[in-house]
Amino acid sequence: MAKKPAKKAAKKAAKPAKKAAKPVAKKAAAKKPVPKRPAAKAARKPSAPKFETSLEKLVVKGDDNFFGLEPDETTLKRSRFVVMSAPYEGTVSYGKGTGAGPAAIRRASQQVELFDEITGREHIPRHGVCTLKPFNARCTAEQMTMGQIYPVTRQIVKAGKFPVLVGGEHSVSPGAVKAVWESYPDLSVFHIDAHSDMRDAYHDNKFSHASAAARINEWCPIVQVGIRSREKFEPGHPDRPVHVYHAWQYHTPGAWMDEAVSRLSRNVYVTIDVDGFDPSVFPGTGTPEPGGLSWYLGLELLRKVAQLRNIVGFDVVEVAPTKGEQVSEFAGARLMGRLIAFISEYCWGSKGGEEE
Ligand SMILES: [Mn+2]
């Protein structure tokens, strides 16, 4: 597949704010009422609504899309996959930078080869991938996940499309899971992560990144893989168990992989905090932990989930691009591509397997 030429960097970016405001005349003039909003604010977008949640209006029309597809392969009508970007990092507790993850992954994905040699097909252009504009990240974690991601994911699922969410920190995931769960009441969640994310709240915030799995567990049972950082507790709701496969014990292929998948219900949402993989695979992430999944062990797990269950949504979160290298965002883009291939090939069967 010929690659597209690199994009012209020609964005008409809004002028950076002036270096420094003019020195104010003097104290005496301070009587004047200060205008409520600075004029600069109105510059480009005339009073855009705070949160755009109309699926149609969020669609990116040009070619700055995930996987660098031709615009006619990315329309909402044609695409089976719809990718949301949530550049949110409001509750991070350690390293920063996950807010820049979605744009970096999108750019990296434009360099990802569209042929998937594991399944032997080009699933991405065949099924179409529709890119949505990034959500508005100037908000709380709850506003992001419940006020934006939840209603948009609902529309994607109701339209018969497959939702994909790119973070941002892990706090973005619950809204997507809730929307998918409402359409698939038997939903279970396959959760790759270094951290169990099972604190009921963190820093008094129930929508913290450290509480993502606790929120999800209010609706769904969970199978966790790669875990190596957690509190001492017995996790999980009695009706919605959380099965934990700790990385220290389960880091090589084995029968445990089939057992883990067997604990999932028929319909599965996959949530991947990239720190579940080893830092050698994803060095750029907010809270790295040594000793995670190898690339191929993670792929084999995901392939098994796709072969044995019906995946109905996924997210990839916590990529924090590192200055001067592209390793993590490229791995994130590649992971998205592999998952799309596995879902097309194994979950959709013949529909995904036809030759063009
Ligand atoms: Mn994590």
Strands 240-246, 188-192: pairing is: unpaired
The per-residue pLDDT for 153 is: 98
The CA distance from 319 to 65, in Å, is 18
Q: Report how far ligand 1's centroid is from the alpha carbon of 163 (Å).
A: 21
Q: Report how far ligand 1's centroid is from the alpha carbon of 288 (Å).
A: 8
Q: Report how far ligand 1's centroid is from the alpha carbon of 275 (Å).
A: 5
> Whole domain around residue 120: which residue ranges?
57-353
The per-residue pLDDT for 93 is: 73
The CA distance from 156 to 81, in Å, is 9
Assign 3-class secondary structure to 261-285. HHCCCCEEEEEEEHHHECCCCCCCE
Q: Report how far ligand 1's centroid is from the alpha carbon of 228 (Å).
A: 9
295-320-109-247 Cα dihedral, nearest 10 degrees: 20
Q: Indicate whether 8 belongs to any domain.
A: no
Q: Indicate whether 234 belongs to any domain.
A: yes
Q: Report how far ligand 1's centroid is from the alpha carbon of 125 (Å).
A: 31
Q: Report how far ligand 1's centroid is from the alpha carbon of 187 (Å).
A: 22
> What residues pack around ion ligand 1 (CB closer than 5 A)?
193-195, 273, 275
The per-residue pLDDT for 44 is: 55
Token pair 């600075």 in the structure block, residue:
38
Q: Report how far ligand 1's centroid is from the alpha carbon of 273 (Å).
A: 5
The per-residue pLDDT for 23 is: 43
Q: Indicate whether 25 belongs to any domain.
A: no
The CATH number linked to 105 is 3.40.800.10
Q: Report how far ligand 1's centroid is from the alpha carbon of 195 (Å).
A: 4
Q: Indicate whether 6 belongs to any domain.
A: no
Q: Indicate whether 205 belongs to any domain.
A: yes
Q: Report how far ligand 1's centroid is from the alpha carbon of 269 (Å).
A: 17
Separation of CA 210 from chain center: 16
Q: Indicate whether 301 belongs to any domain.
A: yes
Encoded tokens for 175: 């809204």
Q: Report how far ligand 1's centroid is from the alpha carbon of 212 (Å).
A: 10
Q: Report how far ligand 1's centroid is from the alpha carbon of 45 (Å).
A: 35
Q: Report how far ligand 1's centroid is from the alpha carbon of 196 (Å).
A: 7
pLDDT in tens, 94-143: 889 999 999 999 999 999 999 999 999 999 999 999 999 999 999 999 99
Task: Count each helix (H run) and each strand (E run) in the chain, helices first.
Answer: 11, 9
Q: Report how far ligand 1's centroid is from the alpha carbon of 276 (Å).
A: 6
Q: Report how far ligand 1's centroid is from the alpha carbon of 214 (Å).
A: 13
Q: Indicate whether 21 belongs to any domain.
A: no
The per-residue pLDDT for 91 is: 80
Q: Report how far ligand 1's centroid is from the alpha carbon of 294 (Å).
A: 16
**pLDDT per residue of the chain (356 residues) written in tens, 0 to 9:** 344 444 444 443 444 443 344 444 444 444 455 555 555 444 555 554 489 999 999 999 999 999 999 999 999 999 999 999 999 998 877 889 999 999 999 999 999 999 999 999 999 999 999 999 999 999 999 999 999 999 999 999 999 999 999 999 999 999 999 999 999 999 999 999 999 999 999 999 999 999 999 999 999 999 999 999 998 876 688 899 999 999 999 999 999 999 999 999 999 999 999 999 999 999 999 999 999 999 999 999 999 999 999 999 999 999 999 999 999 999 999 999 999 999 999 999 855 444 44
Domain count of the chain? 1
The per-residue pLDDT for 36 is: 54
pTM above 0.75, yes or no: yes
The CA distance from 111 to 104, in Å, is 11
Q: Indicate whether 35 belongs to any domain.
A: no
